[in-house]
């Protein structure tokens, strides 16, 4: 069967904003890995995230759940999350679920980072 996995990378901007780049598919199998990755960053005191979904080929409700959970956690510390996606299917899912009103979604990482400054 096709290998389903997710690659995750993080870099810091100005020492306070974490740019998390996700590459792959986010489903019931991979979403726990994303949750763990973001959760550990929050545990270490990072509360401001730009999450780059441009290379995410597939995301379902479990992936949305991870993003919502992360947003709730950082908001408790006055933090914020912005997203990057130009994928029409990804944007459609955020639109259908109403999460387009919860997350600010940008076309580029630079725009998503600038919105957090």
Binding interface with another protein (CB under 8 A): 1-2, 4, 25, 27-29, 58, 60-62, 64-66, 68-69, 71-72, 88-89, 93, 96-99, 102
Q: Minimal distance in Å, beta carbon 16 to another protein?
A: 24
Extended strands (E) in the chain: 6-13, 17-26, 48-59, 80-84, 104-106
113, 82, 115, 86: which is closest to 99 by C-alpha? Answer: 82
Can you tell me whether residue 106 is helix, strand or coil?
strand
Can you tell me whether residue 74 is helix, strand or coil?
helix
Query: Is 57 or 77 the residue whose CB approaches another protein more closely?
Result: 57
Q: Minimal distance in Å, beta carbon 73 to another protein?
A: 11
Q: Minimal distance in Å, beta carbon 66 to another protein?
A: 8
């Amino acid at each position: 069967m096709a290998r389903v996995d997710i690659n995750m990378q993080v870099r810091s901007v100005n020492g306070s904003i974490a740019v998390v780049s996700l590459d792959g598919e986010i489903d019931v199998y991979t979403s726990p890995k994303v949750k763990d990755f973001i959760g550990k960053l929050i545990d270490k005191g990072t509360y401001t995230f730009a999450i780059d979904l441009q290379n995410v080929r597939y995301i379902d409700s479990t992936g949305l759940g991870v993003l919502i959970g992360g947003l709730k956690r950082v908001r408790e510390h006055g933090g914020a999350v912005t997203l990057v996606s130009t994928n029409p299917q990804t944007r459609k899912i955020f639109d259908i679920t109403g999460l387009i009103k919860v997350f600010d979604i940008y076309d580029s990482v630079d725009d998503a980072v600038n919105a957090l400054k």
